[in-house]
Structure 1
Amino acid sequence: MEASERTISQILTEQIRYEIPPYQRPYSWEKGNVEQLLDDVWEAYEAGDEEYFIGSLITIERTKGALYDVVDGQQRLTTLNLIFARLRDKMSDPYAMVDLEARVRLPKKNRDDESKPRLTLRGRDQAFYLKHVLDKQPVSAAILAELEKSQDKPKLNILENIGAIDRFCESKDENTIQAFKDYLLDSVFVVLVATQSTKSAYRLFNVLNARGMPLSNADLIKNLLFARLIAGRKSEDLEERWLELEETIGIDRLDQFFAHHRSSFVAVKSRKSLHEEFEPLIENTADPFLFIEEITASAKNYVRILQASFDDSTALRSLRSLHRVAFEEWIPPLLAFLNKPTAGMTEGEFIVLLEKITYQNWIRRLAFTARLTVYFQLINAIREGKTAKDVVAVFQAGANDVEFRTLLDGEVYGRPFAHAVLMRLEEADQDESVTKTYRGKITIEHVLPQTLKDPYWVERFTDEQHRSWLHRLGNLALLAGTKNYRAQYFAFDRKKQIYTEKNKIVSFDTTKQILGADHWTSDQVETRQDNLVARAMNVWAIG
């Protein structure tokens, strides 16, 4: 391994080329990263600093002094190529244009030589980079719309960062831009590390961070997978499979997916970092292609969970309810079931039971470890191929209908589950074929106010009754919009007027029941309480 300080001019010179290997992350820098780099170098340039260091470039030297795989530093290197391409386009001086062109493309040795880019990005980004950056072809509105629709982040980042570079240049004349270009090339340094050992490069990749972009667990898992490549299989093939995985999940969600997939597979609490937990799973696989096929299939099921992509209306209702829960430990058992369905049990049946046990354990205030115990038992039963009856028995063993009912019949206002419970009870009596979507801010209002100020309430509730009913389900109403602090102490008729107006914005059936009452008394609250608790038991009792 060799390490040396090099100017940017020295790393972008002669016939030296760089390639981004397939195990690397896509181009991830956003405009804030590019603006920071330009501002930092500009400050050093204006201050007259003789040298400015921007980090390291870790490479595998594939051809001595000519071709390098970039293991760490691709974000900076790609950005530098974008900068020099855009500076080239600002120049009218032919000598400056030729100099900058040579920084992004190899100088031709002969007239008939094919023009080669100095930097080769990952497979699916390279053609876009050549066409729209090096060859300066404009991006049409149709192309941009397609990129935004598909959320192609690497290409969108390239476009956004080109814009940031252009804005940096807008207030500067050509002489200033040329002087800044010379400073970039001759006074900005990197440490170029060239290794000949792939093993050494992997080790460096695992421990080094790009500027402001720490390696994600997904990056490190990908690195482990590529290291397992069987001789004779092309890394490009594995790259295509990985790109399919990225497109299925989205790069920003990969780490979260891997965490859920791991739990759905091993059903034990993690004791190491995520990529370390995956290491034995990858090492024990006979073929990395088979491993990524299984991961991709799991990823598609994960997307189904996120997008609630189920035809069964019962499953959809329960899944929407699960997405309101304050934790996500319910995802791995559902992922395990979708990856390996239990014979004799439909998706809808499993999801309904999963909603029941999740809400029971949430409202029973079970701790994290206790919640995991039930979920891990479910995962193990699924993976061991247990019968549907055995799986149902796991749900039943983890439930406690009596304790659940007692807690739900008590004070719920201010509890983390209050909003989710009321929203689910709102749906309880609706036809399952009807799907209501609630947008905007939704608040929980006390009908009987928290302080007995108005004579209306003083006449109808004793202090004891007030304390008993105030924060229970029967006294709570869902309303659209922000909380009515000025109206909270009003008499019932005035409150009903306010509730009626708000219920026109978003209609809640459970609030309509309140609007239908002539007065609000302890008897009214008790009747509504019994009704809502009965609905809750219909929804969440396992028995």
Structure 2
Amino acid sequence: MQTGKSTVKDIFDGTRIFNVPTYQRAYSWEREDNLEDFLNDLCSQHPERPYFLGSFLFHLNGNKSEFALVDIVDGQQRLTTLVIFMHVLLGRLIEQGSALVSERTRRIFVRDGDIFKLESANEGNTFLHDLVLGDRLYSPEEVTLVTHSQRLLLDARQYFEEQLGCHDLTMLEKIYTTAVNADVLLYVVDKISMATQIFELLNDRGRRLTDLESIKSFLMYNAGVAFDHPEQVIGKIQEDFSEIYRLIESHKINDRDVLRYHMLAFEPYPSDYTDKPKAYIKERIIRLVSDPEKRDEAREQIREYPARLKKSFQLFAKIRDLRLADQELAQTYMIGRVAPFYPALMKVYSEKASDFHRLVAAINAFTFRSSLARLRSNGESYQYTCMRNGDDVVELIERFVQENWWNVNGRAREALDYENYYDWLEKNVVRYILFSYENNLRDKKGFPLLSSKDYASKDSRERLSIEHITAKRVKSVEFDDEFREQYLNALGNLVIDHAASNSSKGRKDGHEKLAHYSLAPLMSQNELNDFCCDWDSLGSIKEFIKRREDRLKTFISTRFGV
């Protein structure tokens, strides 16, 4: 196999095993964005014009048994998809007695005895070989899926089974002929340092990479420039990025966000690079590599930046996991303004863990007030300047409330008098208040508290929603304008409820709802029996809402210090 133009049938000649290295991103192709285009292109290709599958960068990496082992440095998403597609297509053709293929064809493209022609440590070879490239088609419900990429691999198999099952033998043979004769452009190297240089050049010519992938290729390329013997350094970069990709996959992390959080928390970046982490590290290293007197510093940065970045991904994942056990941190996520504070959380947890809970308390005190007051600023620029200057960011965030920045305390107190909580405030803030009140009742009576998992549940039945106690329309009473404007969406007319229970109540009047509330598993609903109300009297309903609102606002003042 040599650099240059080739075809699919030439690269799959039966002598090679293609391997997706661990430093590559996990499988990510989806039906709508990728698989449909892939199959549509093959089905619609004119028979007299060869189909171009794309370019591939291969690293010849020794042997396995009698087969050559080929690492896929670039093009792993397309090649993985092609092997799954060929597995399904060959099965259909063999079943229908096609003269174009045989079991020997399957041995070339998919499996030769015990040897599969595609390996991937990211998704796990056992999963890939047994469940995706095996004889039986599995549904996601039948297997334990560890990662999102495993679900996508199974879905790719399912998609091709569905789509190819709709075609007759003539069309399947046309698709097969197009696929195996497809043109490819190969770059083949026997040293990983050469592969990184080619990869960087290829992707400088307009091919889209994520910022993280671009940084990885940039670092590997510059290792080849800065080091006389770069293979070990490139290997270390690959190991660090392998762990980063594993964390992204297992924790469903947005890598672009954490890349930025890392720079804001730990790198000495200029202030005008706040939103440009990729440009920051690239320009820093280019400047060092270009200066002969700073070659040692350049080498240090190329070696150490991936390790620093990996630590930030580990920190981010650890903090997100910690919220499930730490009630105060769970409040931070439930209030819903955690993103602007991630750099501070990561920095303090890493460098002064004894101050972490003090920081969380300060964030919660501020974000609850700012959410209640609909304040847009989260003090990001103050935080980032503080950390860049090496000052105490915990003390800074505490001052947001202590010194009443942006009049956050006064505006939050004014917000207590809102008459239209349901429409005026963010729904999450209202839900958080009602959730906190529910747990306050549970705590007083010694019952188990609802957890952050309960709060975040996406289950269609168990998801917590906001219920109007007196519905927007009822049969038994006629609303006046005052009620619609001042009472209907007031805090006193709102209670937290499970989604399934909420939808079942519909437009029932207060008498009917109260029977449900008294038997509900939520104490804030049971408590409604304590408020006497004639549900056929609009005046009595107004009084009920006012008395309950007073109780809830007293709770807010006491619990949150507003």
Post-superposition Cα deviations, 1:4-56, rounded to whole Å, max 9, x if no partner, equal: 65443344448677654554323322455345423431233xxx531243442
Measure how far apart 1:471 and its partner are: 4.1
Q: 1:205 — aligned with what?
A: 203
Deviation at 1:60, TM superposition (A): 6.0
Which position in structure 2 is the counterpart of 1:490? none
Q: Whole-Å Cα distance in 1 between the matches of residues 140 and 371 of structure 2? A: 47
Cα deviations across residues 255-313 of structure 1 (Å, max 9, x unaligned)?
24334444444696865555334546777783556444444443344234434545444
Structure 2: which amino acid aligns with 1:276?
A
SS in 2 for 1:418: helix
Report if aligned partners of 1:419, 1:444 keep a CA contact under 8 Å in 2: no
Alpha-carbon distance, 1:361 to partner: 1.5
Which one of 208, 215, 219 corresponds to residue 213 of structure 2? 219
Alpha carbons 1:442, 1:482 under 8 Å: kept? no
Distance 1:388 1:12, change over 3 A: closer
Separation (CA, whole Å) in 2 of partners of 1:375 and 1:464: 44
1:331 corresponding residue in structure 2: 342
Task: Determine whether 1:498 maps to 2:521.
Answer: no
1:420 to 399, 424, 432: 432
**C-alpha displacement of 1:357:** 0.5
1:381-460 aligned at under 5 Å gives the runs 384=391, 386=392, 392-397=398-403, 398=405, 400-411=408-419, 412-414=421-423, 415-416=425-426, 417-431=429-443, 434-436=448-450, 437=454, 439-445=462-468, 447=470, 454=477
* Cα distance between partner residues in 2 of 1:143 and 1:512: 41
How far the C-alpha of 1:534 sits from its partner, in A, is 2.8
Name the SS of the counterpart of 2:503 in structure 1. coil
The answer for the alignment partner of 1:248 in structure 2 is 247
Q: How big is the shift at 1:57? A: 0.7
- Alpha carbons of 1:353 and 1:170: their partners in 2 closer, same or farther (altered >3 Å)? same
- Corresponding position of 1:306: 320
Answer whether contact 1:18 1:118 (CA < 8 A) is retained. Answer: yes
Instruction: Quickly say closer, same or farther: Cα 1:465–1:144, change in 2 above 3 A.
Output: closer
> Normalising by structure 1, what TM-score?
0.73
User: What is the alpha-carbon distance in structure 2 between the residues aligned to residue 37 and residue 496 of structure 1?
Assistant: 59
Cα pair distance change 1:128/1:206, threshold 3 Å = farther
**Aligned amino acid, residue 302 of structure 1:** F
- Match status 1:507 vs 2:522: yes
- Which shows bigger deviation, 333-342 or 506-515? 506-515
Distance 1:449 1:178, change over 3 A: closer
1:364 aligns with 2:373: yes
Q: Secondary structure of the residue that 1:28 maps to in structure 2?
A: coil
CA contact (8 A) 2:533 2:541 kept: no
Partner-residue secondary structure (3-state), 2:57: strand
Aligned pair partner of 1:276 in 270, 276, 279: 279
Name 1:257's counterpart in structure 2.
Answer: 258
Change (3 A) 1:427 1:207: farther
Shift of 1:405: 0.8
Match status 1:537 vs 2:557: yes
Residues 8 and 190, structure 1, Cα contact 8 Å, conserved in 2:
yes
Paired residue for 1:482?
A: 503
Cα separation, 2, equivalents of 1:310 and 1:14: 50
Look up the equivalent residue of 2:179 and give its one-letter code: L
Provide the secondary structure at the position in 2 that maps to 1:27: coil
Equivalent residues of 1:285, 1:291 under 8 A apart: no
Q: 2:359 aligns to what?
A: 350
Measure how far apart 1:358 and its partner are.
Answer: 0.7
Q: What is the rounded CA distance, in whole Å, between the counterparts of 2:133 and 2:491 in structure 1?
A: 65
Distance in 2, matches of 1:233 and 1:25, equals 21
Which residue, 40, 48, 51 being the options, matches 1:50? 48
**Matching residue of 1:27:** 27
Taking a change above 3 Å as real, the CA distance of residues 330 and 527 of structure 1, as seen in their structure-2 partners, is farther
Equivalent in the alignment of 2:78: 76
Shift in alpha-carbon separation, 1:172–1:249, aligned structure 2, 3 A? closer
Question: Is residue 57–residue 195 contact of structure 2 (8 Å, CA) maintained in 1?
Answer: no
Cα deviation, residue 351, structure 1: 1.9
The structural deviation recorded for 1:509 is: 1.6
For 1:388 and 1:38, locate their aligned partners in 2 and report how far apart those are by CA, in whole Å.
54
Matches within 5 A, 1:372-387: 372-373=380-381, 375-376=383-384, 379=387, 384=391, 386=392
Residue 172 of structure 2 is aligned to residue 184 of structure 1: no
Could you tell me whether the CA contact under 8 Å between 2:22 and 2:242 is conserved in 1?
no
Contact 2:373 2:415 in 1 (8 A): yes
Q: How many residues matched?
A: 501
Name the CA shift for 1:301/1:454 in 2 (closer, same or farther; >3 Å).
Answer: same
Q: CA deviation at 1:535?
A: 2.0
**5+ long unaligned stretches in structure 1:** 107-113, 488-493
The CA deviation at 1:340 is 2.5
Q: 1:469 to 1:49 in 2, by over 3 A?
A: same
Distance in 1, matches of 2:394 and 2:275, equals: 33
Distance 2:232 2:494 in 1: 63
Aligned partners of 1:426 and 1:508 also within 8 Å: yes
Structure 2: how far apart are the matches of 1:71 and 1:23? 9
Task: Give 1:356 shift.
Answer: 1.3
For structure 2, the residue ranges without an aligned partner over 5 or more in a row are: 62-67, 287-297, 456-461, 535-539
In the TM superposition, what whole-angstrom CA distance separates every residue of 1:226-253 from its partner, at most 9, and x where no partner exists? 4455635264554344333333342742
Aligned residue for 1:59, secondary structure, equals strand
CA distance in 2, matches of 1:193, 1:387: 49
- After superposition, the Cα gap between the structure-2 partners of 1:390 and 1:372, relative to the gap in structure 1 and judged at 3 Å, is closer
Deviations 1:58-96 (A, max 9, x none): 426769xx9976454322222223333455555376974
Q: In the alignment, residue 9 of structure 1 is paired with which amino acid? A: K
